[in-house]
Structure 1
Amino acid sequence: MKYPTIDQSLFILNRKNFSKQLKNKSLAIFNASDEFPRSGDQNFVFKQNPDLFYLSGIDQEQTILLLYPDCPNPLYREVLFLRQTNDYIKVWEGYKYTKEQAKAASGIEAIYWLEDFDNILHSIVNYADHIYLNTNENDRYSPEVPYRDLRFIEKIKSKYPLHHFERSAPIMRGLRAVKSDVEIELTKKACTITRDAFIRVLKFTKPGVKEYEIEAEIIHEFIRQGGTGHAYTPIIASGHNANILHYNDNNQTCKDGDVILFDFGAEYANYNADMSRSIPVNGRFTTRQKEVYNAVHHVMKESIKLIGEGVLWNTYHEQVGEVMTEQLIKLGLITTEEVKNQNPAWPAYKKYFMHGTSHHLGIDVHDFAGRYTPFATGNILTVEPGIYIPEEGLGIRLENNILITANGNVDLMADIPLAAEEIEDIMNS
């Protein structure tokens, strides 16, 4: 692994919290993610199923976790099944967990090879009434490919049709949204790496540089510091490209007088940062660019104040919309008359700020959490307002990662340059 071993106490606690919410006489099964083909004889880089990682700390393909808290055979109350290595795999693929290493990483005593799964499951499953199975219920995801969890559900339901099948996802949705101290520290590390990459970019950017050259500087810093890589496909959007919300071609030349909108973050130990910044290619904002920049910065600061324990998602976004509306009127982009006559389903401000302000952050960049669950202590949320003006070839987005605590909000990116003047000073130093 690129990252140091995570204390197994995190995963032991996570399993304990999950198991508490199971019905009596229940077992739960979690599968590793699929390995996806990249070409005729290669796979994409493996990315672990976030729920399995959350409960076990195991970062390897073809892994199965079985939890059966009240199993009549105490040997099988927590069982981890691993792909067994061999001489061929050692030569061609390298490191795989030994049983001892998996035990040390997860805190699970019962470690078996994958070939033992069917026999062990069959020996205990008939003493359970309920089988909890996992799927991706992130409401941002609509699967069209029958991934491993879906294939497994079909298989196990045909083999044990009279059991009561339950969903693990509602339990995981509640658990994963509230971050432990260890998870917060891992997220902070991802934010620190992201900060250093951004400062590197500030010193590198100048007229004539290619967007992909900037991307190369970012990944250099991520990998240099032990990050796994990008938390998501980075956006390096100069000039008019900034008005394409998910622009990631990153193949244009950055021109004198334009602003570049960045949206990138490091992944570290499966935890993610998510940052947006906007900088002038030549190191100096024009008067209009700075005016729009400061308006977005104002909305960001006010939005951070609005987040807190017990706040409802929809209420928060409505309040942010009101703050943004004020700024857009000041910028001359919308009028009070347009606001007065706006369609409540699509307010006037949406013409220039059409996306949401926040999402949960964690093992997934858009982390698994309840859209209708009030914000709570331990949540980490992005705050990312933006103003996009196609007719001016200008798009500004600013984004930091905010931790809700009992004593108020903590900005995990407070040490990353943000104010327009600070950006200019670094670029011209």
Structure 2
Amino acid sequence: MKYDLINRELFIKNRKNFMALMKPDSLGVFNANDIYPIGADSTMPFQQNRDLFYLSGVDQEETILVLFPDAPKPEHREILFLKETNDHIAVWEGEKLTKEKALEVTGVETVYWLKDFHKIFYEIMTQAEIVYINTNEHYRANVETETREARFNKWLKETYPAHNVAKSNPILQRLRSVKDQIEIDIMQQACNITEKGFKRVLQFTKPGVWEYEIEAEFMHEFLRNRSKGFAYTPIVASGNNANVLHYVVNNSQCKAGELILLDVGAEYANYSSDMTRTIPVSGRFTDRQKDVYNAVLRVKKEATKMLKPGELWAPYHVEVGKLMTSELIGLGLLDKADVQNESKDWPAYKKYFMHGTSHHIGLDTHDYGLLHEPMQANNIFTVEPGIYLPDEGFGIRLEDDVVIQESDEPFNLMRNIPLEVEEIEEWMNK
């Protein structure tokens, strides 16, 4: 791992909070992700199961965490199983966690090697009535590959059919959406790295550069600041490419007079940042580009103020839609007749702003969070309105990551990243 060691108190608190919501005489099991093959002996870079990381801080493969708060043996209330390391592995793959290092990272005192899992697991399963299995139930999830967790769950239900099964996901959805201060500090670090990358790009961009060159400038700055790289596939979309919402090929040349929509964010310690800025290739916005930009910016600022404890996600988006409708009328893109005749299911503003305004962000870029429950302090949301104008050859989206506060406006983790038209132009023309 490139990042600094995280304070293990975070993981100790996370496990305590999870176990407090478990049913009596129950245990929960959490598995690491696989290392996925590409072909021959090639593999994809390892990405840890976010739930296991949230509860333990372990960032290596072939790891199992078991939580059993009512275990008769106190030492079995938290158990970590690790792939046994040795000198051969250290030479070929690098050092893996020892039992001593695992305690330092996680705060879990009982650590066994993975080869002992079945024997110990059988013992504790005879003492439990319910087992919590971990499943991905995020509202955007579309999983076609069978994960290590899914294989384990299948084996568990076949091997222990008499046990009742419960789901860990509803508990994790609730817990992970409310960030600890340690998590907020880590996400601030991710946003700070994104800021450095963006300021580098502002001074690099000029007519004739290619989108992939801009992507490379971000990656250079991210890696040199101890990030693994992008938190998600980056969008570097010049001209009309910005009107493709998930444009990721990044292979066009940037031309004078165009705008570039940059939707990029650095990860740090597995936590995400998610920033969008739109900048002029030539260093100056035209009057029309500036008018549309400032309309998006006004919606973003007003939408941010609406993120408060007690607010609901769906009504919030309805209100943002009203803000955007007003701005689109002001720009001459809609008129009152368009609004009067609009469909309830697809309001008129959706022609130019067809996606949502906010989503949870944390360990995942689209993080866990129960959208039917009221917002809470220390939820972290993106705010990302946009206006897309294919007939005019550009699209504009602006996005920051903000922390909901108990009794104040949300705290912007990207407050130091240039946003105003004048700031963007000043940085590009230094």
The answer to whether TM tops 0.5 is yes
Amino acid across the alignment from 1:25: D
Shift of 1:86: 2.7
Amino acid across the alignment from 1:325: T
Correspondence for 1:315 = 315
- 2:123 paired with 1:123: yes
Whole-angstrom CA distance in 1 between matches of 2:427 and 2:28:
52
- 2:141 paired with 1:141: yes
For residues 230-257 of structure 1, give each alpha carbon's deviation from its aligned partner in whole angstroms, at most 9, with x where no partner exists. Answer: 1001000000100000101011100000
Matches within 5 A, 1:77-156: 77-156=77-156
- 2:9 paired with 1:9: yes
The 3-state SS of whatever aligns with 1:165 is strand
Whole-angstrom CA distance in 1 between matches of 2:74 and 2:426:
63
Correspondence for 2:418 = 417
Whole-angstrom CA distance in 2 between matches of 1:230 and 1:198:
13
| Percent of aligned pairs with the same amino acid | 55
Shift of 1:142: 2.0
Amino acid across the alignment from 1:427: M
Whole-angstrom CA distance in 2 between matches of 1:199 and 1:39:
38
Whole-angstrom CA distance in 1 between matches of 2:229 and 2:373:
31
Correspondence for 1:181 = 181
Amino acid across the alignment from 1:417: P
Shift of 1:95: 2.2
Shift of 1:205: 0.2
Correspondence for 1:355 = 355
Structure 1, 146-155 or 106-115: larger mean CA deviation: 146-155
Whole-angstrom CA distance in 2 between matches of 1:354 and 1:285:
24
The 3-state SS of whatever aligns with 1:362 is coil
Matches within 5 A, 1:23-422: 23-408=23-408, 409-422=410-423
Structure 1, 83-92 or 46-55: larger mean CA deviation: 83-92
Amino acid across the alignment from 2:397: R
Whole-angstrom CA distance in 1 between matches of 2:34 and 2:389:
41
Shift of 1:426: 0.8
Shift of 1:20: 0.3
The 3-state SS of whatever aligns with 1:216 is helix
The 3-state SS of whatever aligns with 2:404 is strand
Shift of 1:407: 2.9
Amino acid across the alignment from 2:426: D
Amino acid across the alignment from 2:147: Y
The 3-state SS of whatever aligns with 1:196 is helix
Whole-angstrom CA distance in 2 between matches of 1:340 and 1:124:
64
Shift of 1:120: 0.4
Whole-angstrom CA distance in 1 between matches of 2:28 and 2:416:
42
Whole-angstrom CA distance in 2 between matches of 1:117 and 1:140:
33
For residues 292-327 of structure 1, give each alpha carbon's deviation from its aligned partner in whole angstroms, at most 9, with x where no partner exists. Answer: 100000100010011100000111000000000001
Shift of 1:277: 0.1
Amino acid across the alignment from 1:281: V
The 3-state SS of whatever aligns with 1:155 is helix
Whole-angstrom CA distance in 1 between matches of 2:282 and 2:413:
28
Whole-angstrom CA distance in 1 between matches of 2:144 and 2:382:
28
Whole-angstrom CA distance in 2 between matches of 1:394 and 1:92:
50
The 3-state SS of whatever aligns with 1:242 is helix
Whole-angstrom CA distance in 2 between matches of 1:244 and 1:131:
44
Shift of 1:396: 0.2
Whole-angstrom CA distance in 2 between matches of 1:171 and 1:251:
42
Whole-angstrom CA distance in 1 between matches of 2:143 and 2:48:
17
Shift of 1:39: 2.4
For residues 60-94 of structure 1, give each alpha carbon's deviation from its aligned partner in whole angstroms, at most 9, with x where no partner exists. Answer: 01110000011012221100011112333222211
For residues 181-224 of structure 1, give each alpha carbon's deviation from its aligned partner in whole angstroms, at most 9, with x where no partner exists. Answer: 10000000000000010000000000000101000100100010
The 3-state SS of whatever aligns with 1:230 is coil
Q: TM-score, normalised by structure 1?
A: 0.99
The 3-state SS of whatever aligns with 1:207 is coil
Correspondence for 1:428 = 429
Amino acid across the alignment from 1:411: N
Amino acid across the alignment from 1:134: N
Structure 1, 140-149 or 194-203: larger mean CA deviation: 140-149
> RMSD of the TM alignment (CA)?
0.8
Whole-angstrom CA distance in 2 between matches of 1:263 and 1:16:
36
After superposing on structure 2, the runs of 4+ consecutive aligned residues of structure 1 that deviate more than 4 Å are none
Structure 1, 208-217 or 140-149: larger mean CA deviation: 140-149
Shift of 1:406: 1.3
The 3-state SS of whatever aligns with 2:126 is helix
Amino acid across the alignment from 1:418: L
For residues 117-144 of structure 1, give each alpha carbon's deviation from its aligned partner in whole angstroms, at most 9, with x where no partner exists. Answer: 1110001101100000101111100222
Amino acid across the alignment from 2:286: T
Amino acid across the alignment from 2:167: R
Amino acid across the alignment from 2:87: D
Amino acid across the alignment from 2:57: G
The 3-state SS of whatever aligns with 1:232 is coil
Structure 1, 1-10 or 272-281: larger mean CA deviation: 1-10
